[in-house]
Chains A and B, each alone.
Chain A
Amino acid sequence: MGLLTDPGVERSRLPAMLEKHHRPICLTLYVLGIIWFLALAHNNFNHGTYFSENALLPGLVQGDFEGDSRALQYLDSLKMEVEKYTSGMPYPWLVGQLTQLGLETYTHNFTLNYPLGHGKVFSGKNVYGILRASRGSSTEAIVVSTPYRPPSSLLQGTAPSVALMLAMAHFFSKQVYWAKDLIFLVTEHEQLGAQAWLQAYHRTESGAGILDYGDLEGRAGAIQAAINLEIYSSQVSHIDVKVEGLNGQLPNLDLVNLIHRLCQRETVYHTFKNKGDHPQPESFHGWLHQLKTLFAMVTSQASGVPTGNHGLFHRYGIAAVTLEGQDSQGRNRRYVSMHQLGRVLEGVCRSLNNLLERFHQSFFFYLLPSTNRYISI
């Protein structure tokens, strides 16, 4: 401002000195910046996570889910069906199971006009069931989704997540406290199916003529939040929470904290970027561990590629995360059972049900050096 400096008068010593030595000063400051960034991973320079949205009330109520045996039954039944469908989704079985639970079941057809390949056309079908809230008027909804992977897929099969989802649907259909509808969605062809479903739900197009998103017969109002499940086995070693979305967009930090807090409550080993919390974060090794986690997040976010189907929901203002569970491979160390997973999911859905407003309180831009520390913008 002209009031603080007077350009007419001869310059004083400080600016002249800065100008004279600007190269070493710039270099020093740059190096200092990098050192400061590295230091952010240390607990002295970042903050512990906390809940901004008090309405979430995480883990306030004792969980009631006891349907793990039912989930295992669904898993066995699904494995038998999967043998018949090596490259597709067992649609009739899924539609039948969802209908028998009393949900409104719909299928959604979509086609992809492959832009790079000589007029090739791929088609797919998503299956979703809507559990109508018993006392609600279908103005808001929560989505629980899972990408279905046939045995011929290169990625790990998600049959246990479909089974868990069906067991949760059975449990939820008996409860009377739902204020929002629950949509149980099984998508095909990874992110393509999820993107097609979202585009059909919101009737938006991104790139004309490439993805023909078809039409949805059933809707449940405005979607408030989405949980994507990628559970690869009925006994997983830990739950990894994936947050990065398309173009580096992140969900609200409250949702991430909710998952971590509920995992803690149900004594489920939870990680971020497949790294759990270091037992001594103040030490040098703790700092190094957190630094590695931080860099993993920075690189995955910088790439702009979503780490799961949840990344496609962020554009529509829907907070979404993915819960991934790797097989524990028989290690006698602690494993997470379907029962614990069900309790976590029940707690998450109940907390999301409590919300009156969309996620707006906590941060949308943050870096996580560990599951319980954050660096905000």
Chain B
Amino acid sequence: MLLTDKMWLTLGVLVTIFALVSADVEESNTFTEELLIKPFPSGHVQSHFEFTTTWRNPEISHSIENYKDFEFSHYDLFPRALGEIIEAYHVRELHLSLTQGLWRHQIWGYPVVDAPPGAQLWVWFNPTVDNLDQTWKDLVNALSGLVCASLNFIDSTNTVSPELSYRPQGIAEEWYAGNSSLMRYAALPRENVCTENLTPWKKLLPCDTRSGLAVLLHPAPLYTANYHALSIHLRPSCVDKSCTSPQLELVQALSLVQNPTVSMNGHQDWSLYHLFSTKLISVCPLASMSVIYVDITNNNNKFSLYPEPYKVRKSGSGSSFRKHAVYDINDTPPNEEFDLEAHYKSRHVYGFIPSPVLHVSRFITGYGQEGGSITVKLTNTGSEPLSVVYLEVLPWYLRLFLHTSHDENQPMYVSKLVTALDRERGWLYEAVVEVQGKSTVELSLEFTRALLKWLEYPPDANHGFYIPAATISTILPSPKNVAVNNLGGSTLGDKLILEEGEAFIRIHTETLLVSLPTPDFSMPYNVICLACTVVALAFGPIHNITTKKLVLKKVEGNASPIGRLTSKLKNIFKRGGKKEAEEVPKQDPVIVEENPLFEDREELEDIEEENEDVRIHGKTGNEVS
């Protein structure tokens, strides 16, 4: 009765229209696992695992488009432990890496994901956060528990918000990406990586380590590698190139560099079994894609692969040309254990390796414990000039002299500078420098070392303090040594297809070790001993003088020789008046040694008058001195 036929018709039409419109945005969860193996001309072999989970549903799209907090429900492949942290702390984009070892850019080129030694965390928050510092602190502690790393050492003294470096890697509009107050960056260079961090990381994977490529992750070979980086990257990304709908992308990457040349007696032969001490047993049933790529771009018949690659994929041209041997494990699952081997025809020859377009070196100059200078050398081996953003995050106990960073011959633009406050915040120095083609630019920051309070020294104070790595970001004119194109897509396979033209890279320098002037920690004990001795020596006589009472003493002759000896010894060390007593034995003079008590004063005054009379009238021949 309330709803007429006409109203039913319009309702039906509206519902159909709504259904058609929302048909584009559907619920979808995908998981892909990929492994890239790349041999280097220096004899090393890189293995890069990438486990990508994407999640797309209307709520997530809505949150991404409107910069609101995520609200997850019906977790499927996405790990719930991480999802709850993201929900609770208003996170939009998160990048965490734990690395052991240094990536040698000069001989290995640019990595898939660059990470400095130690721990590095940078997060972009939603604009809905009211107290960002408190949220950052809580997030850091939650993540510390999630990955079993001591990330809780991140506090206000090592957190910064750089302006130009670390712009969002996911979907972000101009107004959001330019607002650096919504992001936080911190690095802990002393953090170690071990199986304790690997285990919770593995638990975030849908298949854990029971099947799929994660089966290869045995701890022993991982932690004897030259470089080992564990990372978690969460970002809102586009489903496809046209970017009509957004999705949430979680990439868990593990990067390894090992040296089979050393263990295989000069041959760079490698195999899955040799690198990971296990073979591939099964495929993860939850993975929509399970692929192994071997980079054979520079293989001019130097090595051959067994089994033969299922497919050889060539992409790009010129400096972006890449050739990969593709083993799609999901498509053609192996009957038994799958082992991929590469055999080199001849021994490895260590030759000259051309450096990539931009490489950086950072070191401390000067000696002694007073001051020094941090110098960074940027070398551009290409022919075109490069604009490089150089970010330096330094602790407060290195007191910088900012006037030394500028050189008249070297124009540069300081995009952000935050000066340090003792024990509250550290230095942030971000500058844009232009490096001309085929030239080297040196920037240096002079500093003096502060003396810390004695409780602020760590137990191994003479080891030194670590300075976090500097970050260099630039856009290269061509993707010559670049490994991936991050904007390419969600899977590693898509990212490995490089495009001609500009490529963005972000690289990190070495971490440094500075030794601060260390006090002698045994000094408190020494000072206590000395002070107590002084007090004892001073206090005793003062106490005697102020509190002792005056006493008459008769001088008696002692018959025994010991008595005479002791009295003689006493006389040597006693004060002068006694001599007089011996010379004038008739009178018994009174020695006034200490200040007398008040009651005896009158008595003493009388005795003093007597003494005066004795002196004046007693020695008639002598003058009164």
Contacts and interface: CB of A to CB of B under 8 A. Distances in A.
Interface stretch (A2-10, A146-154, A188-196, A225-233): A2-10
Interface in B481-527: 510-513, 515, 518
A124 to B, nearest CB: 22
Nearest to B364: A222
A356 B463 contact: yes
B513 A203 contact: no
B243 interface: no
Contact of B350 (A9, A100, A202, A221): A100
B226 interface: yes
A9 B576 contact: yes
Interface in B568-587: 572-577
Contacts of A317: 367-369, 515
A134 B572 contact: no
A360 interface: yes
B463 A3 contact: no
B367 A3 contact: no
Interface in A88-105: 99-102, 104
Given A12-B573, A317-B368, A138 B462 contact: no
Nearest to A103: B350
A139 B510 CA distance: 8
A14 B572 contact: yes
B368 A174 contact: no
B66 to A, nearest CB: 42
B538 A3 contact: yes
Contacts of B538: 1, 3
A28 interface: no
Interface stretch (B100-108, B148-156, B428-436): B100-108
B455 interface: no
Contacts of A174: 262
Contact of A219 (B107, B363, B513, B576): B363
Contacts of A13: 572
A155 interface: no
A315 interface: yes
A163 B577 CA distance: 83
A315 B366 CA distance: 11
Contacts of B101: 135-137
A80 B447 CA distance: 50
Contacts of B466: 139
B367 A176 contact: no
Given A99-B350, A139-B466, A317-B368, A203 B572 contact: no
Contacts of B576: 9-12
A358 interface: yes
B52 interface: no
B464 interface: yes
A92 to B, nearest CB: 13
B367 A315 contact: yes
B261 A102 contact: yes
Interface in B179-209: none
B169 interface: no
Contacts of B510: 137-139, 221
A138 B511 CA distance: 8
A3 B366 contact: no
Nearest to B544: A3
A242 interface: no
B576 to A, nearest CB: 4
B575 A134 contact: no
B117 interface: yes
A324 interface: no
A221 B223 CA distance: 22
A3 B368 contact: no
A176 B350 CA distance: 20
Given A4-B537, A137-B102, A315-B367, A221 B512 contact: yes
Given A134-B259, A221-B513, A357 B224 contact: no
B95 to A, nearest CB: 20
Interface in B421-461: 460-461
Contacts of A358: 462-464, 515
A41 B396 CA distance: 50
A42 interface: no
A9 B575 CA distance: 7
Identify which of B261, B351, B464 gathers the most chain A CB atoms within 10 Å of its CB. B464
Interface string B255-292: 00001011000000000000000000000000000000
Contacts of B366: 202-204
A3 B546 CA distance: 13
A212 to B, nearest CB: 16
A10 B466 CA distance: 64
Identify which of A100, A137, A138, A139 gathers the most chain B CB atoms within 10 Å of its CB. A137
Contacts of B1: none
B513 A140 contact: yes
A350 interface: no
A30 to B, nearest CB: 26
Given A136-B101, A139-B512, A202 B537 contact: no
A140 B42 CA distance: 22
Given A139-B510, A356-B460, A4 B541 contact: yes
A134 to B, nearest CB: 5
A221 B262 CA distance: 24
A173 interface: yes
B375 interface: yes
A132 interface: yes
A45 to B, nearest CB: 25
Interface in A312-345: 315-317
B542 interface: yes
B595 interface: no
B365 to A, nearest CB: 4
B537 A3 contact: yes
B542 to A, nearest CB: 7
Contacts of A139: 466, 510-513
Interface in A4-56: 4, 6, 9-14
Interface in B208-231: 223-226
B361 interface: yes
A202 B365 contact: yes
A135 to B, nearest CB: 6
A4 B573 CA distance: 12
B462 A102 contact: no
Identify which of A14, A100, A134, A360 gathers the most chain B CB atoms within 10 Å of its CB. A134
Nearest to B579: A10
Contacts of B42: 102
Interface in B94-116: 100-102, 104, 107
A246 B151 CA distance: 45
Which 10 interchain pairs have the tightest Cβ spacing? Answer: A203-B365, A357-B462, A10-B576, A137-B117, A137-B102, A316-B367, A139-B513, A360-B462, A357-B463, A3-B541
Interface of A: 1, 3-4, 6, 9-14, 99-102, 104, 132, 134-140, 173-174, 176, 202-204, 219, 221-222, 315-317, 356-358, 360
27 contacts: A3-B537, A9-B577, A10-B575, A12-B573, A12-B575, A102-B43, A102-B350, A135-B101, A135-B223, A135-B224, A138-B102, A139-B466, A174-B262, A202-B365, A202-B366, A219-B363, A221-B363, A221-B510, A221-B512, A222-B513, A317-B368, A317-B369, A356-B460, A356-B463, A357-B460, A357-B462, A358-B464
Given A135-B100, A137-B100, A222-B515, 4 more contacts: A99-B351, A134-B224, A176-B224, A202-B365
Interface of B: 42-43, 100-102, 104, 107, 117, 223-226, 259, 261-262, 349-351, 361, 363-369, 373, 375, 460-464, 466, 510-513, 515, 518, 537-538, 541-542, 572-577
